[in-house]
């Protein structure tokens, strides 16, 4: 059986590139050399090219100077001694003799109540006193009569050998004498009671005239002639007097975070809205232990003494006081921005990393936010110093701070050194 063989399909001709030889080896070498050349070009470009992408730093100089620590607090001005004058009695105001801003003296007539009713009560109680005194005279006569009668009975009994008068008559005479003595004591008590009632009404009559208890000035007047005063439940305030406005007090509320620095004898300066371009002096005379909480904020009342000889300050004015709690002189100072500055991980890598690390791709990584650094006296901090264009970290010990600058107690910081406070641009 003959089997017919089909001819083979046509084959493509073999090119020169497919044949092993010098051309094939050249192409392989080119495929290896081209990436190497590109890498070298990139390295040269990175090392000697444009430098504008490098990190630049914002700096401030360390300096030598004085530092003043201030605690700020707000409060109101008050008189040194403020007295509210009222009335213990109810009635109608007959007259008012004092007005706003009047200077008054101790005992001066301020206002007067209608005393018609009080006058009648005084007259009535004085009559009752006279009646009680007359009653005393009456019972005194009765007592004297019983004494004489009892003495007569005793003499008769002695002369009659106790036969007359009878025992019953003698006992009755003694009883009458005892009753007369009791009536006399009761009458004397009635006199004392009538005298006390008269004294009370006379006292009320004297209180109907309202007088000044101090030497001072009238701040407020809350009464007019013809006005009815009702003192049933509480004493109504008719006048408010200030003893001496040339010496005043400033009551401020100091935050609990600052009260530990505030002490008696410290000086302060304050301003009021009425005189925006003027500063007044004051001195702390008392820091109170009692606290006040307003909207969740704990404060402590502090009292400052204020000299007001020109009477420019008035009670009730709102003041903002700067209390000087500490002052240091001739120390090395660094800005708080420099103490809070922290070099980020990316900036550290850019500064210390190799060329290869800079060129190799890295997965994206978000820069973490810098934590707020708390600056306090005696704490250990770090500052970055720019030396020869390169940042160097220096450990320091801080002292007092005013919120802007901080005293450097220990550390290799000298006046004039450039302290990094921020970065201006970042390398990409």
401-422 pLDDT, tens digit per residue, is: 888 999 999 988 999 999 999 9
pLDDT of residue 219: 94
Nearest to 298 by CA among 255, 340, 359, 259: 255
Q: Domain 84-114+208-243, CATH 3.40.50.2000 — does that match?
A: no
Average pLDDT along the chain: 84
Label residue 356 by pLDDT band (50, 70, 90).
Answer: very low
Beta bridge partners of 301: 253
Q: Which CATH class is domain 71-80+244-328?
A: mainly beta
Whether the link from the prior residue into 165 is cis, omega within 30° of 0, is yes
Label residue 364 by pLDDT band (50, 70, 90).
Answer: very low
pLDDT over 80 (residue 109): yes
d(CA 219, CA 110): 13
pLDDT of residue 97: 94
pLDDT of residue 153: 87
- Which of 19-23, 65-69, 116-120, 236-240 shows the lowest mean pLDDT across its residues? 19-23
pLDDT over 80 (residue 365): no
d(CA 73, CA 287): 13
Highest mean pLDDT range out of 234-238, 298-302, 382-386? 298-302
Q: What angle do CA 69, 70, 72 make, to 5 degrees?
A: 160
**In this structure, what are the phi and psi dihedrals at residue 403, rounded to the nearest 5 degrees?**
95, -20
pLDDT of residue 345: 58
pLDDT over 70 (residue 37): no
Nearest to 313 by CA among 247, 251, 240: 247
d(CA 265, CA 44): 70
Span 344-362, average pLDDT: 52
Q: What is the CA radius of gyration of the chain?
A: 52
Span 79-90, average pLDDT: 93
Q: Which residues, including other chains, have CB under 8 Å from residue 310's CB and lie 6 or more apart?
A: none
What is the CA 55 to chain-centroid distance, rounded?
47
pLDDT of residue 234: 80
* In the chain, domain spans: 56-65+332-353+372-425, 71-80+244-328, 84-114+208-243, 115-206
pLDDT of residue 41: 67
d(CA 287, CA 299): 11
pLDDT of residue 359: 47
pLDDT of residue 326: 93
Q: Which CATH class is domain 56-65+332-353+372-425?
A: mainly beta
Residue 80 burial by Cβ neighbours in a 10 Å radius (0-12, 13-18, 19+):
middle
pLDDT over 90 (residue 309): yes
pLDDT of residue 107: 94
What does pTM read for this prediction? 0.66
Residue 391 CB coordination number (10 Å): 19
d(CA 382, CA 158): 122
Beta bridge partners of 251: 76, 303
H or E segment to which residue 329 belongs: strand 318-335
Nearest to 412 by CA among 390, 388, 384, 375: 384
pLDDT of residue 160: 86
pLDDT of residue 50: 46
Whether the link from the prior residue into 286 is cis, omega within 30° of 0, is no
pLDDT of residue 166: 86
Q: What single-letter DSSP state applies at residue 41?
A: H
The tens digit of pLDDT for each residue in 142-154 reads 999 999 999 998 8
Label residue 370 by pLDDT band (50, 70, 90).
Answer: very low
pLDDT of residue 261: 93
């Amino acid at each position: 059986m003959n089997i017919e063989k089909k001819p083979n399909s046509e084959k493509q001709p073999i090119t020169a590139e497919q044949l092993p030889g010098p051309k094939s080896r050249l192409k392989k070498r080119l495929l290896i050399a081209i990436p190497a050349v590109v890498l070298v070009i990139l390295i040269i470009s990175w090392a000697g090219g444009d430098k504008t992408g490098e990190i630049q730093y914002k700096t401030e100089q360390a300096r030598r100077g004085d530092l003043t620590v201030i605690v700020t607090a707000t409060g109101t001005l008050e008189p040194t001694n403020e007295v509210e004058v009222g009335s213990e009695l109810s009635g109608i105001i007959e007259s008012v003799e004092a007005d706003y801003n009047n200077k008054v003296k101790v005992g001066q007539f301020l206002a007067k109540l209608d005393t018609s009713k009080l006058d009648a009560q005084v007259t009535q109680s004085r009559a009752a006193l006279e009646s009680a005194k007359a009653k005393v005279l009456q019972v005194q006569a009765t007592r004297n009569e019983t004494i004489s009668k009892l003495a007569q009975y005793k003499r008769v009994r002695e002369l009659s050998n106790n036969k007359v008068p009878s025992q019953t008559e003698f006992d009755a005479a003694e009883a009458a004498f005892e009753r007369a003595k009791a009536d006399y004591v009761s009458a004397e008590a009635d006199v004392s009671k009538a005298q006390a009632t008269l004294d009370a009404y006379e006292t009320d009559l004297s209180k109907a005239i309202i007088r000044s208890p101090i030497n001072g000035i009238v701040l407020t007047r809350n009464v007019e002639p013809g006005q009815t005063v009702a003192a049933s439940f509480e004493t109504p305030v008719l006048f408010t007097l200030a003893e001496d406005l040339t010496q005043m007090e400033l009551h401020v509320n100091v935050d609990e975070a600052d009260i530990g620095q505030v002490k008696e004898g410290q000086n302060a300066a304050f301003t009021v809205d009425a005189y925006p371009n003027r500063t007044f002096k004051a001195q702390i005379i008392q820091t109170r232990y009692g606290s006040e909480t307003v909207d969740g904020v704990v404060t402590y009342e502090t009292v400052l003494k204020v000299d007001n000889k020109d009477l420019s300050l008035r009670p009730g004015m709102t003041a903002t006081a700067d209390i000087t709690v500490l002052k240091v002189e001739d120390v090395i100072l660094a800005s708080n921005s420099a103490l809070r500055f922290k070099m980020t991980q990316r900036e550290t890598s850019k500064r210390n990393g190799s060329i290869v690390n800079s060129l190799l791709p890295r997965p994206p990584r978000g820069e973490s936010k810098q934590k707020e650094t708390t600056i306090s006296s005696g704490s250990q901090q770090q500052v970055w110093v720019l030396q020869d264009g390169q940042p160097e970290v220096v450990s320091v010990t801080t002292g007092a701070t005013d919120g802007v600058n901080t005293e450097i107690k220990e550390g290799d910081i000298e006046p004039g050194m450039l302290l990094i406070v921020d970065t201006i641009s970042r390398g990409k």
